[in-house]
Amino acid sequence: MPAYIEITIRAAFVILAILLLTRLHGLRSFSKMSGFDFAITVSIGSVLAGAVTTLNTNIWIFIWATIALFVVQIGISQLRIRWPRVQDAIDNAPILLMEDGKMLSANMTKAGVSKSDLWAKLREANAYNLENVRAVIMETTGDVSVLHGAPHGPPVSDEIMEDVLRR
């Protein structure tokens, strides 16, 4: 069989396995809720790439690897839900980069975020005035959340800031 046909068939099989497993596991399969989720997503992509480029390895090895990654993700997700210590061990804590329009330089250094990185994220979030920026948080996934509103409006609630490292 020509290689291009085998590659197409292998891609179809592994993608079908990924789709079926995603339907079984649900939307969390490819979420970016934690660094762990990101690592699993990248790993699944690597398995797919290997399946279509490593023609001398049986396709079932790649399908089994995909199943194993989903099983590990489900298992770790359940452990994170049941035992907070597991979550603490696996996930980075979100960190406050800016509060009430003022940069927190020590936190930015700790998170590896430059001033220009911060400005870019503020522009991306349509924060047009530092007075309106209530909080900027680097999340566990590396995403940056910008909370903004009226300068003298209600404060950001404690529940939303519950697990955020402040200083």
Residues of the chain with pLDDT under 70: none
* The predicted structure's pLDDT at residue 87: 84
Q: Please tell me the distance from the alpha carbon of residue 101 to that of residue 131, in angstroms, as a whole number.
A: 5
* The predicted structure's pLDDT at residue 29: 77
* The predicted structure's pLDDT at residue 140: 84
Of all helices (H) and strands (E), which one includes residue 23? Answer: helix 3-25
The CA-atom distances, in angstroms, between 150 and each of 52, 113, 127 are 52, 25, 11
* The predicted structure's pLDDT at residue 38: 83
Specify the length of the chain in residues: 167
* The predicted structure's pLDDT at residue 51: 95
Residue with tokens 């804590």: 93
Query: Rg of the chain's alpha carbons, rounded to an integer?
Result: 21
CB 77 within 8 A of CB 148: no
SS3 sequence, 50-79?
HHHHCCCCCHHHHHHHHHHHHHHHHHHHHH
* The predicted structure's pLDDT at residue 56: 95
